[in-house]
Structure 1
Amino acid sequence: MTWHFTEDATAFRTAAADHLAAEPARNTAVLTLMDRADLLGWWAEPDGRVTGVFAASPVRVPAFGAMTVEAARALVLPAGEEPTGLRGETAAVEAYAEASGRPWAPTVRMRLFRLAEPVPPEPAPEGRARVADAADVPLVTAWARGFARAIGEDPEQDFTGPVTERISEGRLLLWVTPGGRPVAMAAVSRTIEGQARVHLVWTPPEERRRGYAAGVTAAVGRAALDSGAAQVLLFTDLSNPTSNALYQRLGYRPVTDHLGVEFAPTAV
């Protein structure tokens, strides 16, 4: 039983193809990151079966895919690439963190949901969904900063490129009022191995409690299904009961719980 590491997404995809295809929902973070990851890894059993994968982007913040507890305990990353943070299914993350012997603390507890039968929001919010266009880049970029701030990420990073990419590919929807004013947004990842993941769901504070998030989330999920996704997924923060209840009303059902952790700096 051995961990293998590479920076080559093609080599990783070839080695882990069966594992990735068998569990696309549980591997959603790895599937989304693998083509731009700084480091990729897979755990091979004696018979060659892969039973654990990860993708790191940036290199010291890996995301675990579907992974056995045994694989997580055995993971030792290359020297100088020990993680400062880590996310993945709770059991595997806890197993790795405890086996590492390093001090660590949880930063976020999440739940992965899969869209079962889409349910329209009730009551339906005023307005409609529309696909964002190039003229919306400045507004969406500002909203992306607000989203990052709200989830504890760096709001000063450059969001223009990622926002422009999503908009140019038609993967970001806005909810607009009857007068055409944008009031909420949601994006969806590219469809990979049949799965697409909803993200960047954001309503500015002054526009909340009007159902706009429900409207745009339902619309972007339908758009993903219509474009060919077999599974539509999203993550929620378990500390936010409002969003967890909302997504379940829209037809999302729990898949598995995830944990994010942060490691104390390694002593020099």
Structure 2
Amino acid sequence: MRPDDWRLTEDVDAFLARAGDFLRSRPALHTTPLSVTEKLRTLGAAAHGGRFPVFGLLERADEQLLRWCREFAADVGEDVTIDAASWAGTRFAEKRYTFSETPNGTPVSMAGANPMVGGQVRVDPVYTPAHVRGRGYAGAVTVEVSRAAPAAGAQEVVLYTNAADPGDAVRVRSARSGWRRKRRGRGCAAGAV
């Protein structure tokens, strides 16, 4: 992401107006930012040593993330509405996203990673827009996410791919990268590193 994708503010109310619904959609996962912002909202700067922290709001990339999740869902046949109003209720909201970028900072691919559960992190979705596919971007971002998860304590990383599509680029390249098939499901295969 480029620096101009971010808007910085010390205004906790402006931050919560933009991010509050998302944070409250999974309060256990977001307990720290919810606690900090509530303390600042009620006590003011005194709650933070007399100074307000700076909050970052990701502007353009939010719209891009929504668009790419919509495009991914359409590509795999998911019937889901993904927009700012419905985001918190979608399966996509709980994930942390990593983007692959060109040298000039243009995002070209993304991979989502679910929160760790039982020592396991699930990688899903992996998406590259059609006009930049076939250049290794999805493979690169998948490798990055799959390396970060064990570094953060995951004992296993699971990648969902489209088993029904023999040409699924992520599945094919992942097999070359050391992933091994664990089981079959309807329309997807799970692999683990």
Correspondence for 2:22 = none
CA deviation after TM superposition for structure 1 residue 160, in Å: 2.9
SS at match of 1:222: helix
| Residue 189 (str. 1) matches residue 114 (str. 2) | yes
* TM alignment of 1:1-268, pairs within 5 A: 134-135=58-59, 136-158=61-83, 160-161=87-88, 165-166=94-95, 171-242=96-167, 243=169, 244-259=171-186
Separation of aligned partners in 2, 1:134 and 1:180 = 15
Give the unaligned 5+ runs of structure 2: 1-27, 29-56, 188-193
Q: CA deviation at 1:218?
A: 0.4
Aligned-partner Cα distance in 2 for 1:190–1:165 = 7
Measured against aligned partners, the alpha-carbon deviations of 1:123-146 in whole angstroms (never above 9, x if no partner) come to xxxxxxxxxx72321101000000
Tell me, yes or no, if the aligned pair for 2:94 and 2:114 is still in contact at 8 Å.
no
For residues 240 and 183 of structure 1, the distance between their equivalents in structure 2, rounded to whole angstroms, comes to: 22
For residues 186 and 80 of structure 2, the distance between their equivalents in structure 1, rounded to whole angstroms, comes to 22
Matching residue of 1:110: none
In structure 2, relative to structure 1, the CA distance for the partners of 1:137 and 1:164 (3 Å cut) is farther
Within 2, Cα distance between the matches of 1:134 and 1:220?
Answer: 20
Distance change >3 Å, CA 165–CA 254, structure 1 → 2: closer
**Other structure's SS at 1:152 match:** coil
Residue identity opposite 1:229 in structure 2: A
Using the TM superposition, give the Cα deviation of residue 235 of structure 1 relative to its aligned residue in structure 2, in angstroms: 1.7
The one-letter code matched in structure 1 to 2:139 is A
Q: Deviations over 1:5-45 (max 9, x none)?
A: xxxxxxxxxxxxxxxxxxxxxxxxxxxxxx9xxxxxxxxxx
Contact 1:175–1:215 (CA under 8 A) maintained in structure 2: yes
1:157: how far off? 3.9
Identity of aligned residues (%): 36
Structure that is richer in helix per residue: 2
> Taking structure 2 as the reference length, what is the TM-score of the superposition?
0.59
Measure the CA separation in 1 of the matches of 2:110 and 2:82: 19
Q: Which has the higher contact order (CA 8 A, sep 6+)?
A: 1
The AA in structure 2 aligned to 1:235 is: Y
- Is the Cα–Cα contact under 8 Å of residues 173 and 186 in structure 1 kept in the other structure? yes
Cα deviation, residue 234, structure 1: 1.4
Q: For the residues of structure 1 that align with 2:134 and 2:162, how far apart are their CA atoms?
A: 19
What's the offset of the Cα at 1:164? Answer: 5.5
How far the C-alpha of 1:239 sits from its partner, in A, is: 2.3
Structure 1 residue 156: deviation in Å? 2.7
Once residues 127 and 105 of structure 2 are traced to their aligned partners in structure 1, the CA distance between those partners, rounded to angstroms, is 17
Residue 216 of structure 1: how far off its partner (Å): 0.4
Given that 2:94 and 2:115 are in contact with CA atoms closer than 8 Å, whether structure 1 keeps it comes out as no
Structure 1: which 5+ runs fail to align? 1-34, 36-132, 261-268
Number of residue-to-residue matches in the alignment: 125
Match of 1:41 in 2: none
Deviations 1:97-148 (A, max 9, x none): xxxxxxxxxxxxxxxxxxxxxxxxxxxxxxxxxxxx7232110100000000
C-alpha contact (below 8 Å) 2:69/2:82 kept by paired residues: no
Normalising by structure 1, what TM-score?
0.43
Residues 187, 198 of structure 1: 8 Å contact kept: yes
